[in-house]
Amino acid sequence: MRRDPFQAIADPTRRAILVLIAVQAMTPNAIAEHFDTTRQAVSKHLKILTECDLVKQQSQGREIYYQLEVDKMKEIDKWLEQFRKIWETRFQQLDQLLSTIKKQKK
């Protein structure tokens, strides 16, 4: 079953996991050390992130390492880009308005 990646990243713990593994691939135990939660709870978060294709697993011996799936994150970034442009335009308009108001007060 594929899940919605936006629902997955809505959870703060899952976002924190993504930040951790963006730097380097980590085992579930290594990830769990960063949280005040059980190893099973971390595994559940990893399962959801894997189902969304936001992380991928890589086996090395008896260990499983999780790493960020960069291509999927690029898709999310591409979708967010449209909003970034809107926000930047609005901030520029606000800056212009504030400059105009400031000039009128002088």
> Hey, which residues does 66 pair with through a beta bridge?
26, 57
Domain that holds residue 52: 1-68
My answer on whether 45 and 87 are in the same domain is no
* Cβ–Cβ < 8 Å for 7, 45: no
Total domains present in the chain: 2
pLDDT tens-digit profile, the chain (106 residues): 568 888 899 999 999 999 999 999 999 999 999 999 999 999 999 999 999 999 999 999 999 999 999 988 888 889 889 899 999 999 999 999 999 998 888 7
- In this structure, are 52 and 3 located in the same domain? yes
Cα(97)–Cα(59) distance, integer angstroms: 56
> Do 50 and 8 share a structural domain?
yes
62 and 29 inside one domain? yes
Same domain? 30 vs 60: yes
